[in-house]
């Protein structure tokens, strides 16, 4: 079970939210892995994330409208299904309960071994390079040589086992911590989506987590529902990232969902009022330089959250309308946040086919090339400001623009956080966060540890804003 974190949003058809016209400062200063992946709940969790961040901004826990049901249609069967294939809701609920009971019967040793297997098949030792399957196998044999008498002891064993890896990002999640993470919401309506294989090579989108008394819960959306359409747009074939983008919009506006309860229905159309908690990370202003001859658009990005890409587009268009012919994007002290939002932000400046980032890992599942899929939003000269607190998603953006000759970098060497984590659920409801890969820049530079060296320490004299 794997949840993809969909973190960016295209411009909504509704009116854009208001953005501040100026930033706070008044002046700019200087193998078995495929099997394991099926159990993974949250993929591509990067950025300098600690448990504290998982439980608070930018990774908060997932936190009514009149006549929420616009229409109701009777259950329908797919052409290749029959009534026998579709148990009624009572039978389906019974199956879920039985599965839950079975999950509680797993032994303490079984939970420890499950966590061990995930590391054995997925872990990437990107720092010390001392991990090996042989030593890991020996550690397992030592751990399981004596009985583990309680579940709390099993959890302690897992913590120590993961701690021995020497990777600060690989860690254990208690059932409560895992539950709160699975309810992480960037949709604005209190749901968390996951992609589930339909067995035919395609993915269905289902509601993994839902906030009790949140907008979707109040309107009638249920955990396990399949999302079929958003505002009349069929979402078949779309990723959870794309669908979350469709769900996003200004707070207090409405979105209409078509959902299917259970395997075969019923189908329902539900109207949900958005409740966006994320704050815009974008601030901007227009500056005149060279005795007023040149207009420069200054944009500060504090973090990459669900609103980053959308609000950046709004800011750039407004600055262009005001006459900006150059841009400065300030990523100083931006520790990252949502990696997919960073990737989508980088694509705004790249030519179609340009490489955004490479991902590397032990298995081909993590070896990918991310490329831009459309023409750039702007072609104006761009400076990106960075420092030693520019990390993760910010480093992906900075390196993508730099290596594709779309921007020059000014400031200090960046932090150097380029690891990829996935979160896996264990059978007792707890979980483990495991480093499974790393990011490599278009020029094949390993971001992790070394960071990115800027082109210049200070802004050019003509842009001494």
Identify how many contiguous H helices and E strands the chain contains and give both numbers: 12, 19
CA–CA distance, 169 with 184 (Å, rounded to integer)? 19
CA–CA distance, 303 with 254 (Å, rounded to integer)? 26
Q: Helix 308-321 crosses helix 339-347 at what angle (to 10 degrees)?
A: 30
CA–CA distance, 285 with 113 (Å, rounded to integer)? 55
Q: Write out the DSSP string of 135-182.
A: HHHHHHHHHTTS----HHHHHHHHHHHHHTTT-TT-EEE-HHHHHHHH
Reply yes or no on whether 149 is catalytic. Answer: no
Q: Show Cβ contacts of residue 455 under 8 Å, excluding neighbours closer than 6 positions.
A: 402, 408, 409, 410
Spatial CA neighbour of 389 closest among 308, 433, 440, 330: 330
Cis ω before 266 (30° cut-off from 0): yes
Catalytic residue among 245, 417, 430, 438: 417
DSSP category for residue 337: B
Q: How many residues does the chain have?
A: 465
The separation between CA 132 and the C-alpha centre of its own chain, rounded to angstroms, equals 29
Catalytic residue among 392, 399, 422, 430: 392
Structure tokens at 68: 């929420």
CA–CA distance, 54 with 180 (Å, rounded to integer)? 9
Reply yes or no on whether 417 is catalytic. Answer: yes
Buried/exposed 57-86: b ≥16 CB within 10 Å, e otherwise: ebbbbbeeeeebeeeeeebeeeeeeeeeeb
CA–CA distance, 211 with 189 (Å, rounded to integer)? 9
Active site residues: 392, 417
């Amino acid at each position: 079970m794997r949840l993809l974190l969909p973190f960016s949003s295209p411009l909504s058809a509704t009116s854009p939210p208001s953005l501040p016209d100026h930033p706070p400062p008044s002046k700019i200063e200087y193998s078995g892995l495929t099997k394991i992946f099926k159990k993974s709940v949250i993929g591509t969790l990067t950025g300098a994330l600690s448990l504290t961040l998982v439980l608070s901004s930018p990774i908060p826990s997932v936190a009514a409208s009149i006549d929420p049901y616009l229409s109701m249609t009777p259950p329908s069967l797919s052409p290749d299904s029959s009534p026998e294939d579709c148990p009624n809701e009572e039978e389906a609920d019974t199956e879920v309960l039985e599965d839950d009971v079975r999950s509680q019967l797993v032994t303490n040793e079984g939970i420890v071994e499950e966590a061990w297997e995930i590391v054995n098949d997925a872990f990437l030792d990107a720092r010390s390079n001392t991990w090996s399957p042989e030593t890991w196998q020996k550690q397992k044999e030592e751990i399981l040589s004596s009985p583990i008498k309680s579940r709390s002891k099993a959890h302690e064993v897992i913590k120590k086992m993961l701690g021995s890896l020497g990777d600060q990002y690989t860690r254990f999640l208690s059932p409560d911590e895992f539950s709160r993470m699975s309810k992480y919401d960037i949709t604005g309506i209190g749901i968390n989506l996951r992609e589930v294989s339909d067995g035919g090579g395609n993915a269905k989108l289902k509601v993994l987590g839902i906030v009790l008394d949140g907008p979707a819960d109040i309107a009638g959306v249920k955990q396990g529902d399949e999302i079929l359409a958003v505002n009349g747009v069929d979402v078949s074939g779309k990723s959870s990232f794309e669908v979350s983008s469709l769900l996003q919009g200004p707070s207090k506006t409405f979105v209409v969902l078509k959902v299917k309860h259970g395997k075969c229905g019923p189908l329902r159309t539900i109207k949900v009022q958005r409740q966006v908690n994320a704050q815009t990370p974008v601030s901007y202003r227009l500056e005149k330089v060279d005795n007023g001859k040149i207009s420069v658009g200054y944009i500060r990005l504090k973090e990459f959250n669900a609103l980053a890409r959308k609000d950046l587009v709004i800011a750039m268009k407004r600055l262009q309308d005001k006459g900006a012919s150059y841009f400065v994007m300030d990523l100083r002290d931006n520790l990252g946040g949502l990696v997919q939002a960073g990737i989508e932000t980088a694509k705004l400046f790249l030519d179609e086919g340009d490489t955004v980032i490479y991902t590397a890992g032990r298995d081909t599942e993590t070896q990918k090339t991310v490329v831009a899929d459309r023409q750039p939003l702007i072609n104006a000269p761009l400076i990106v400001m960075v420092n030693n607190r520019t990390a993760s998603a910010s480093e992906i953006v900075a390196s993508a623009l730099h290596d594709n000759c779309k921007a020059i970098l000014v400031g200090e060497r960046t932090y150097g956080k380029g690891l990829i984590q996935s979160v896996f659920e264990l059978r007792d409801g707890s979980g483990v966060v495991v480093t499974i890969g790393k990011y490599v820049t278009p020029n094949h530079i390993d971001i992790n540890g070394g960071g990115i060296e800027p082109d210049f320490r200070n802004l050019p004299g003509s842009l001494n804003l």
